[in-house]
């Protein structure tokens, strides 16, 4: 079990270094590792843990702790959470020190270069999650329609995500989405 926790922590520490835009940006990589490569959970379990983490109050990366808990209990959750937090915090500290001493033009260039990377990673994450919602959707067309409508509302920035989650819950309770 210790070897599994160490391996998972090392992988998730590496994933955190690629997580421009937040940990949700590396969901496809986590899915590949946990579901396809290591067979530690099913695709439905993966999507369910992610969904549960997004509707619960707390940090946005709570799903990482749930993945660790599923695989190795409390110690897995603690180890994976620490592995995900330490590398980016270390980089942020170093970046803030360097950015204070470098021209502001360079920081703008770095931020502008990271924006398309973050958007691409988040779109890939949405795609992986939509493909694994077999428990919630019986047909991929419904998943694509709901994802497209939700993304459209989110891109306009005029609708709070709470209302979109509420509409999804109502449609699910009415049986429209299943």
The whole-number average pLDDT for the span 72-77 is 95
Q: What is d(CA 148, CA 142) in angstroms, rounded to the nearest whole number?
A: 10
Residues, the chain: 178
pLDDT per position as a tens digit, 12-50: 999 998 887 678 888 888 999 999 999 999 988 998 898
Distances (CA, A) of 71 to 33, 42, 128: 12, 12, 20
Break the chain into its structural domains and give their ranges: 2-114
Q: What is d(CA 23, CA 118) in angstroms, rounded to the nearest whole number?
A: 10
pTM comes to 0.64
Q: What is d(CA 76, CA 3) in angstroms, rounded to the nearest whole number?
A: 11
């Amino acid at each position: 079990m210790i070897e599994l926790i160490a391996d998972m922590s090392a992988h998730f520490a590496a994933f955190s270094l690629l997580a421009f835009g937040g940990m949700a940006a590396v969901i496809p990589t986590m899915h590949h590792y946990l579901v396809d490569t290591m067979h530690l959970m099913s695709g439905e379990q993966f999507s369910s843990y992610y969904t549960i983490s997004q509707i619960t109050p707390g940090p946005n990366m709570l799903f990482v702790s749930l993945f660790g808990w599923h695989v190795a209990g409390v110690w897995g959750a603690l180890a994976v959470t620490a592995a995900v937090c330490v590398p980016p915090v270390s980089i942020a500290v170093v970046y803030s020190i360097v950015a204070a001493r470098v021209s502001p033009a360079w920081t703008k260039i770095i931020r502008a270069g990271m924006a398309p990377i973050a958007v691409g990673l988040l779109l890939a994450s949405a795609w992986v999650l939509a493909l694994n919602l077999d428990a919630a959707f019986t047909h991929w067309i419904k998943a694509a329609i709901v994802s497209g409508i939700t993304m459209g509302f989110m891109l306009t920035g005029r609708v709070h995500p709470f209302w979109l989650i509420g509409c999804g819950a109502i449609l699910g309770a009415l049986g429209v989405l299943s």
